Amino acid sequence: MAVTREELSVGCYAYNYALFGKSGYGYVPSLGAGIFFCVIFAEVIGWAGRTWSSQCPYNANAFLMQITTLIIAPTFITAGLYLILGQMIRVAGRHTSPIGPRTYLLIFSTCDVISLVIQAVGGAMASIATSADPPKDTTPGTHIMVAGIVFQMASITAFAVLFTLFVVRSRSSNLPRKSYFLVGATAFSTVMIYVRSIYRTIELSQGWTGYLITREPYFIVLDGVMIVLATGVFNVIHPGWFGLSKVPLDSSTARTETANKPISPPMEENSAVSQ
């Protein structure tokens, strides 16, 4: 029985290159990898889409579901890194950073939102073009997605520079020694996100039929595993163990004001005693 492209894109048909040609992935996603990543970390929607695609590799909804969610997922992880650094600055002192804790969150969260929107728009455009009948040009959407990832990389690079400056300056501060375990975990997570961003930039730059995007092992290791490591490190070294959540948002400001506050004159009763 003949199957139309529309039926193929909304139904569930087993992979058959002779009858239907290649899937949108260029391969059949691994069922085992999909289940594994769904279980162990938070990118459930994206990996659920890939798990679905392992049984229905031609389904456009499953493909759209995974590409638009997995591409933007690290944005929420980096937001957590900005919060951790902001709290550590409050503990160590304002002098350890060229910008304030709240400014960190404002600047980099804004960059994350911009990156998220760009990548989501590009992913949606490319996915819609891929599933169209006949297929349309995916180049505009792909270029937009790459622009979003490059923008995110630039933001992470700026964050890494400021984070390094904080580490250097905090060595002479009152930051508890045990907090450097959290500093190391934050640095490790940042590197994992950065590696993943480099991979996705190269992958998408090669196009939807490029070498990297049509070979799943690269995706599993350089995307899935990198995100697992970036988040999993905080299960081993949990930020809550260092008391950062108990630090008031204006603690650094309060310490500064206390230090600069003029000494009050002696109480009258003390003056009377001295007379």
DSSP 137-198: --HHHHHHHHHHHHHHHHHHHHHHHHHHHHHHHHTTSS--TTHHHHHHHHHHHHHHHHHHHH
pLDDT digits (tens, 9 = 90+) for 81-139: 988 888 888 888 888 888 888 888 889 889 988 988 898 788 778 877 876 777 788 88
Number of compact structural domains in the chain: 2
Cis peptide before 134 (omega within 30 of 0): yes
pLDDT per residue as tens digits for the range 10-43: 788 888 877 788 887 888 888 888 877 776 665 7
Q: Are 252 and 96 in contact (CB under 8 A)?
A: no
Q: Are residues 52 and 105 in the same domain?
A: no
Same domain as 93, residue 170: yes
Q: Residue 79 CA to chain centroid, in angstroms?
A: 7
Q: What is the mean pLDDT of residues 207-233?
A: 91
In a domain, 125, yes or no: yes
49 and 159 together in one domain? no
Overall average pLDDT of the 208-236 stretch: 91
Does residue 86 form part of some domain? yes
Same domain assignment for residues 66 and 178: no
Q: Taking 70 as the threshold, does the pLDDT of residue 243 lie above it?
A: no
Residue-level pLDDT at 76: 82
Mean pLDDT of all residues belonging to the chain: 80
Same domain as 228, residue 142: yes
Side chain identity at 63, as an amino acid letter?
A: F
Domain span at residue 1?
Answer: 1-70
Q: What is the pLDDT of residue 246?
A: 59
How far is residue 28's CA from residue 26's CA, in Å, rounded to a whole number?
Answer: 7
The terminus-to-terminus CA distance of the chain in angstroms comes to 111
Whether 138 and 187 share a structural domain: yes
Is the residue at 271 inside a domain? no
Residues 48 and 106 occupy one common structural domain: no
Query: Which bin fits 78, alpha (ψ -120 to 50), beta or left (φ > 0)?
Result: alpha
Looking at the structure, do residues 28 and 43 belong to the same domain, yes or no? yes
Look at residue 212 in the predicted model and tell me its pLDDT. 92
Q: Do 237 and 176 fall within a single domain?
A: yes
Give the number of C-alpha atoms closer than 13 A to the C-alpha of residue 11, restricted to the C-beta side. 10
The span from the CA of 228 to the CA of 249, in Å, is 30
Q: Is residue 15 part of a domain?
A: yes
pLDDT of residue 42: 57
Q: What is the pTM of this model?
A: 0.78
Residues 109-122 have pLDDT tens digits of 899 889 888 987 88
- Looking at residue 158, its pLDDT comes to 92
Q: What is the pLDDT of residue 34?
A: 80
Task: Indicate whether 214 belongs to any domain.
Answer: yes
Question: What is the pLDDT averaged over residues 243-267?
Answer: 46
User: Can you give the C-alpha Rg of the chain in angstroms?
Assistant: 25
> Is 85 found in the same domain as 6?
no
Give the rounded percent of residues in the chain with a pLDDT score beyond 70. 85
